[in-house]
Chains A and B, each alone.
Chain A
Amino acid sequence: DAGVIQSPRHEVTEMGQEVTLRCKPISGHDYLFWYRQTMMRGLELLIYFNNNVPIDDSGMPEDRFSAKMPNASFSTLKIQPSEPRDSAVYFCASRGLSSTDTQYFGPGTRLTVL
């Protein structure tokens, strides 16, 4: 398996623009997670899905953030409108069903909002 795939790897946009981040989890994994990482706050869980259904979105900072998982092999995280404080590295991770399964992280998308 190629692992968790994220695109784009880097995104530079201007304040107010819509940003869409994409993730393809490892095939067969039941859980998908979106994280944001900054120097100040570390790695924060934004939302996670189980079998394509959003389970906990309490980490989503604002209504400007939304996430979807239309099928088992694809998820998006959208920010609309984007703001400079959204600049961070966004990671997608997936894991299997067992509670002792580990999370496999993608390479991340580095987002810069000017």
Chain B
Amino acid sequence: SQKIEQNSEALNIQEGKTATLTCNYTNYSPAYLQWYRQDPGRGPVFLLLIRENEKEKRKERLKVTFDTTLKQSLFHITASQPADSATYLCALEPHSGGYQKVTFGTGTKLQVIP
């Protein structure tokens, strides 16, 4: 069955360091992979989308890599700040054909320590 795995344990990192979060998937051929941020008591907020034929995508201090051979995406936050503390979700969308079903991972909680 399709499975998306994110590190369920919280990631604690010192302010200023680079945080790296991992998303692994099995039995899935995604067309797109997305990363979302979720703060307590709020809905997820979209951060970045990367296509299957893209290796890397950047946005300000964020960088996402996508390796379809390893079936893995890495999400990096450089120069991390306490305000980056949140839960980060990866989400996979299959090849379309009018089909818009996105599957989310369970998320990894990031804590940036001042």
Contacts and interface: CB of A to CB of B under 8 A. Distances in A.
Contacts, number: 56
Interface stretch (A14-22, A62-70, A79-87, A102-110): A102-110
Band of interface residues on B: 20 to 34
Nearest to A95: B100
B interface, over-half SS: loop
B89 A43 contact: yes
Contact of A108 (B43, B46, B99): B43
Nearest to B95: A99
B82 interface: no
Contacts of B44: 43, 91, 103, 105
Interface centre among B45, B46, B96 (most CB of A within 10 A): B46
Interface residues of A, number: 25
A interface, over-half SS: strand
Contact of B104 (A4, A43, A100, A102): A43
Contacts of B42: 107-108
B22 interface: no
A99 B89 contact: no
B101 A45 contact: yes
A99 B46 contact: no
Given A99-B96, A102-B46, A104-B46, 13 more contacts: A33-B102, A41-B106, A43-B107, A45-B103, A91-B44, A99-B93, A100-B32, A102-B34, A105-B43, A106-B43, A107-B42, A108-B42, A108-B43
